[in-house]
Amino acid sequence: MDGSTKGRVALVTGSSRGIGRAIALGLADAGFDLVLNDIDRQAVFLAAVKAEIEARGRRAFVVHADVSRKAEVTAMVTEAIAAAGHIDAVVNNAGILIANSVEDLEEEQWDAVLDVNAKGTFLVTQALLPHMRARRYGRIVNIASIGGKHGAPLQAHYSASKAAVMGFTRVLAQEVGANGITANCLCPGIIVTDMGRTNLSDKANVAKWVDITALRRLGQPEDVAGPAVFLASDASAFVTGQSLNVCGGIVLS
């Protein structure tokens, strides 16, 4: 990465583990300082990520918030800007998955998944926009999923939430482009994380996903970090409104 990341600060939601942690560390390696977010019960893991970033010589700040709650998001963004000075990029990574069939899906499960995955992305973005507009600069990276493009059994609500993120991002890009702000999505495939293991229930299921992946392997969280760094940096200055598959070749487009 070139000098375009010098002095840059990125906020990464859901950064205590999995893809969020890998993206935060990747951004630190690229020269970003970090604001790390997750819910209170992930405090120990978030503190460990903070220590890893500081060991790389970058600044790191921790702000706890549930991204599905507007008041907490507003307070988080205020605290983040006060601590770091400014926010150049945000990676809306926080997400949950509760597997269930459409027939058995409870209203509370639907709401919980949509609230974190879709509404959380909207709330964090909305809270940061005045700051980014004032600075006439911003990089918004939303973590969607190939599940939002083709879905999988037991994940209708998850698929709906990620499709919503992609639709939201396409409109957002059109609304904020004149202010020097880009908005893009990453669509991970089968990534080996605690949440990703929902798709990896047994050896036969693992073999199925490996077989339909062009690269013939499952993804690791670090595989998502490089594309996230690209979209969070000036290297992607003329890229906006896009949804990039990071799936090893499951979805080809």
Instruction: Please give the single-letter amino acid code of residue 163.
Output: A
User: Do residues 87 and 10 touch, judged by C-beta distance below 8 A?
Assistant: yes
- Taking the C-alpha atoms of residue 97 and residue 161, their distance in angstroms, rounded to an integer, is 10
- Taking the C-alpha atoms of residue 87 and residue 45, their distance in angstroms, rounded to an integer, is 23
Residue 178 gets the label, from left (phi > 0), alpha (psi -120 to 50) or beta, of alpha
Q: Tell me the CA distances in angstroms from 132 to 39, 44, 86, one per residue in order.
A: 24, 30, 9
Active site residue 137: no
- In the three-class reduction of DSSP (H, G, I as helix; E, B as strand; rest coil), residue 123 is classed as helix
Say which of 158, 168, 209, 230 is annotated catalytic: 158
What residues act catalytically? 158
